[in-house]
A and B are shown apart, each in its own frame.
Chain A
Amino acid sequence: GQQLNQSPQSMFIQEGEDVSMNCTSSSIFNTWLWYKQDPGEGPVLLIALYKAGELTSNGRLTAQFGITRKDSFLNISASIPSDVGIYFCAGLKGGNTPLVFGKGTRLSVIA
Chain B
Amino acid sequence: DSGVTQTPKHLITATGQRVTLRCSPRSGDLSVYWYQQSLDQGLQFLIQYYNGEERAKGNILERFSAQQFPDLHSELNLSSLELGDSALYFCASSVANSPLHFGNGTRLTVT
User: In this complex, what residue of B is CB-closest to A1?
Assistant: B59
User: Which of B's residues lie within 8 Å of A, judged by CB?
Assistant: 2, 4, 33, 35, 40-45, 48, 55-56, 58-59, 90, 92, 97, 99-105
B42–A42 CB distance below 8 A:
no
In the complex, residue of chain A having the shortest beta-carbon distance to the beta carbon of B33: A98
Q: Establish whether residues B45 and A42, one from each chain, have CB atoms under 8 Å apart when the complex forms.
A: no
CB-CB < 8 A to B43: which residues of A?
A: 43, 88, 101
Bound Cα distance from A96 to B33, whole angstroms: 12
A residues within 8 A CB of B42? 3, 88, 101-104
Report the minimum CB–CB distance from B44 to chain A (whole Å).
Answer: 7
A21 at the interface (CB under 8 A from B): no
Is the CB–CB distance between A96 and B59 below 8 Å?
no
| Interface of A toward B, CB cutoff 8 Å | 1, 3, 31, 33, 35, 40-45, 48, 88, 90, 92, 94, 96-104
CA distance A1 to B87 in the complex (A): 17
State how many angstroms separate the Cβ of A5 from the closest Cβ of chain B. 11
- For the complex, give the distance between the alpha carbons of A21 and B25 in Å: 31
Given A42-B103, A43-B102, A102-B42, 20 more A-B residue pairs with CB atoms under 8 Å apart are A1-B44, A3-B42, A31-B97, A31-B99, A33-B99, A35-B102, A40-B104, A42-B4, A42-B105, A43-B90, A45-B101, A48-B99, A88-B42, A94-B97, A96-B56, A98-B33, A99-B33, A100-B45, A101-B45, A103-B41
B104 / chain A contacts, CB cutoff of 8 Å? 40-42
Q: Are A99 and B55 in contact (CB under 8 A)?
A: no
Bound state CA distance, A100 and B100, in angstroms? 11
Most chain B CB atoms below 10 A, which of A40, A42, A45, A90: A42
Chain A hits for B97, CB < 8 A: 31, 92, 94
In the assembled complex, the CB of A53 is this many whole angstroms from the nearest CB of chain B, namely 19
Nearest 8 A/B pairs, CB to CB: A42-B102, A103-B42, A101-B43, A98-B45, A42-B104, A43-B102, A48-B99, A96-B56
Chain B residues in 8 Å Cβ range of A3 = 42
